[in-house]
Amino acid sequence: MQAKFASSKFFLIRIILLVVVDIFGVQFAMTLGSRIGAVLGIGIGLFLVLLNVVFLLDRLYPWRWIIPAMAGMFLLVVYPMGYSLSIAFTNYGGGHLLTKSQVIAGFKDEYYAPENSIKYKAYVFARGNDPQPADFRFWLVDPDGKTYIASPVESGLKAAEASAYQPLDAKGVPEALGEFTKVGPQTYSQRLQGLTLDDPPDKIRLTRLLLLDQSFEAQRMLSRYNYDKAADTLTDLQTGTVYRTEGGYFVTGEGDTRQELTPGFTSNIGFDNVTRVITDPNVRGPFWRVFAWTISFAFLTVLTQFAMGLIFALILNSSDLPLRAIWRSILIIPYAIPFWITAQAWRGLLNPLYGPVNLAIKNIIGVSPSWFTDPWLAKVAILFINMYLGFSYMMLVSLGALQSIPSDLYEAALMDGATDYKQFRYITLPLLLVAIGPLLIASFGFNFNNFTIIELVNNGGPPISAATVAGHTDILLSYTYRLAFGGKGADYGFAAAICIFIFLIVATLTIINFRFTRALEEISENV
């Protein structure tokens, strides 16, 4: 009996928790679905359904441990990848951030005043001491003497007779419209000048103050653009120009006479972003230079970090070294200090004007190296700083791997007359790579996307040229970031296309990592 009661109690608690999660989840799905994308909202909704099924059915108990990971994978991996892939084939970016329907709505909301447009005298009525838009009314008089009442928050003019309102002033204008009292237009001139009143399909705009008449001049404005959905054209009713859609713009004319309306809209451009890497000279040159440097940077970083770490590991592994514990503690310091502090410290040390390192070099050779403005020296500085940041880690893993190598292998090698070099070449290095080979490949992949060190040390500079956002020390990821956020105009579509290249390269490295790991395991089994 007690067991059934306990079971019922826990089931009730589970139901209550699911209801709470569902309430928040539905709100979350609706918010993200409306503001970011319907696919994301639908995905969250499906996840909520799956969550309820899993937690209500006891036979699906093991899935309760998997669901949180699936949610994180969908929100943080699957959806961002899918979204990036979708915009890689569009022109989404600066000047093309809006949808076509939003752009059309924006153009249809533009108005102009023809030469023969109707002009009204607008008398101001207000209520309260601090009137808001809803606290204003306007008495409009057209050139024929017809009178209307208009509100800033209501659509359309309402025909009205002055005789229905008493008393009237000398011009025949009511002193009050119910609870709204006539006021001098200069009282609220700054707030009201330029105000538009909605009278579909037109608008009426308060254009200027008429002090002698104690009113505003109001002019009827006509809609400037008309969109023909069947022909997919936009017509400028003021000039008669017809604009067609092309490349995410409404355009007219050809060649030198081509004109386009801004802003443009997001449209599918196929593989244009991908082919730009090959066909556009302003992109092709910087892209392949950045690509080559990215490979070089990742490879040289791993090589220098591993070489330096291995040298110190071999020294610390020697039993003849005095004070080994102290040296080991000192050499771990670069790894223990937060890397962004170290990177900024090295920026100061290498400063061409007052950096201690540069001052010492200048005292020796008479020249202060321009680490941050010279393209080659900037690359050397990046590699040196990154080597300093990572050699401690390589030293630790190499030291552990060295200590795991059986000593009898070296004893057998000595009996066979092997020199120290041959022992290192045929025993130490192969067995060391068995242990840390996968870490070296993983380190290559990490440094392939090591945006932080590039940004902290020199912001990717110095710049390659004024025609591109790329710098000499930019890697693909930082170049993508500058395309998306740091250029003269954001180019999200092209940045997403470059992300495809990065993904393919990293995926290839992952496959190589798996195969290399399997090969090293076979070597280890044969030793």
SS3 of residue 38 by DSSP: helix
Q: What percent of the chain has pLDDT over 90?
A: 33
The yes-or-no verdict on residue 521 having pLDDT over 60 is no
The Cα-based distances of 253 to 110, 241, 258, 455 in angstroms read 22, 10, 4, 44
A 10 A CB-CB count for 220 gives 19
Mean pLDDT value across residues 486-515? 79
Confidence of residue 5 (pLDDT cuts 50, 70, 90): very low
How far, in Å, CA of 350 to CA of 333, rounded? 20
Kindly report the number of other CB atoms within 10 A of residue 445's CB atom. 20
Average pLDDT, the chain: 86
DSSP string, 195-261: -EEEETTEEEEEEEEETTTTEEEEEEEEE-EEEETTTTEEEETTT--EEEEETTEEEES-GGG-EEE
Q: How many CB atoms lie within 10 A of CB 35?
A: 9
Do the Cβ atoms of 227 and 60 come closer than 8 Å? no
* Whether the predicted pLDDT of 276 surpasses 50: yes
Alpha helices in 187-271 (DSSP H): 189-192
Asked if residues 163 and 231 have their Cβ atoms less than 8 Å apart, the reply is: no
- pLDDT value, residue 157: 92
d(C-alpha 121, C-alpha 150), whole Å: 12
Average pLDDT over residues 206-227: 91
Please, are residues 249 and 236 in contact by the beta-carbon 8 Å criterion? no
Report the relative pairing of strands 196-199 and 180-182 from DSSP bridges.
unpaired
pLDDT value at 15 more than 60: yes
pLDDT tens profile 178-194: 899 999 888 888 889 88
Report, in angstroms and rounded to the nearest whole number, the Rg of the chain calculated over CA atoms: 36
pLDDT, tens only, 392-412: 999 999 888 888 888 888 888
Q: Domains, the chain, ranges and CATH?
A: 2-87 (1.20.58.370), 111-223 (no CATH), 280-526 (1.10.3720.10)
Residue 100 CA to its chain's centroid (Å): 22
pLDDT at 165 over 70: yes
